[in-house]
Amino acid sequence: MKPYVFAAAPSQPGAAPVLGAWHRRPGFEVPAGACDCHVHVFGPRERYPLAADRSFSPGIASVADLLAMHDRIGIERVVVIQASPQGTDNSGVVDALVELRRLGRQARAVAVVAPDASNALLGSLHAAGVRGLRVNLQSYGQTDPALAAARMRACAGQAATMNGHVQTYTTLPVIAALQDTIRQLPVPLVVDHFGLADPALGAQQPGLDALLALVAEGRVWVKLSAPYRLVEHTDGHDGRWLARALIDACPEHMLWGTDWPHTGPWPGRLRELVGEEPFHPVDDGAQLDIFANWTTVAERQQILVDNPQRLYDFALAADSAEEQVSSRGRAPWPQSVA
């Protein structure tokens, strides 16, 4: 795990911390309609209980916290991702979509469902604004290619009924082992967090060539998300070659995301399973500036706005009648900004 980039104090007058982190305003003009394609929300445990097989227990990160961070850094659209501690209960994500739309934000989501999920459930998730299904291998230490291929195919079949895509969190060697499977999927595949490539290992690291080939073929999209996890320098120059290799392979299939609210292990500390594991105080304005250091103005428009608009169906109005989810009987999403 690379050192985390964070700000210990406000950088501008009027700044305020969100969940203990300071977020500076980016040093470039963020284009209108910019989308953060990878965030999580974690509600109160009594309302949204965590999965029994979780590997950690995150703190609370509400819709209000998310919007406070996004308002600070200039993000207007968002994709909420079902995180591993939430298991296959997507109620927190669905409720977050309702609340985000109530507050006038365009929002989509990626869910996690059981292998036997019914078509009725998949249809209701699509109506709620879910546009993808996630296969999370890395959080559970799953690296067996046969298991990964089986899960990918099954999830792709479910996503096809929703006219959606599959998203996966896994490593380059697993991606390389699944090349033939990926090429045969009936839906697009989105790869989280640079495919966990490591800039320090160079262009010859195992599996990177396979990922770049799949991207160039138009089979795979990649999230240039959570750069703080892979760079050692606060301006991100050590990760530039990797970002450029992916962008140059197929700029039309690149996405960006913060990975807010920044879960992850702390050095010398066991993962928290019972209480609340603190979030890392990552400056997401700094993360946007790193992305800007890797890209041109035209590429920022494409990756922050145009690509997510196409993949997540933002071209349809977020408040259109067919995608509204009734909030009758549901209390508003709990509000907290700390």
CATH code, domain carrying 215: 3.20.20.140
DSSP string, 224-276: EE-GGGT-SSTT-GGGHHHHHHHHHH-GGGEEEE--BT-----TT-PPPSSS-
- Domain of 299? 35-315
Evaluate whether residue 98 is within a structural domain.
yes
Query: Count of residues for the chain?
Result: 338
Whole-number pLDDT of residue 332: 61
Q: How far apart are CA 60 and CA 43, in angstroms?
A: 6
Q: How far apart are CA 38 and CA 287, in angstroms?
A: 13
Whole-number pLDDT of residue 127: 96
Question: Residue 293's Cα: distance from chain center in Å?
Answer: 21
Evaluate whether residue 72 is within a structural domain.
yes
pLDDT one-digit tens code per residue, 230-268: 998 889 999 999 999 999 999 999 999 999 999 988 888
Evaluate whether residue 223 is within a structural domain.
yes
Whole-number pLDDT of residue 139: 75
DSSP string, 172-229: HHHHHHTHHHHHH-SS-EEESGGGG--GGG-TTSTTHHHHHHHHHTTSEEEEEE-GGG
pTM given for the model: 0.93
C-alpha angle 17/19/20, rounded to 5°?
55
Evaluate whether residue 296 is within a structural domain.
yes
Provide the annotated active-site residues.
259
Total domains in the chain come to 1
Evaluate whether residue 238 is within a structural domain.
yes
Evaluate whether residue 179 is within a structural domain.
yes
DSSP string, 302-326: IIIIIHHHHHTTTTS-TT-GGG---
pLDDT one-digit tens code per residue, 68-120: 999 999 999 999 999 999 999 999 999 999 999 999 999 999 999 999 999 99
Whole-number pLDDT of residue 310: 96
**Ranges under pLDDT 70 in the chain:** 1-9, 11-14, 315-338
Evaluate whether residue 132 is within a structural domain.
yes
Cβ neighbour number for residue 53 with a 10 Å cutoff = 9
Whole-number pLDDT of residue 16: 85
Evaluate whether residue 157 is within a structural domain.
yes
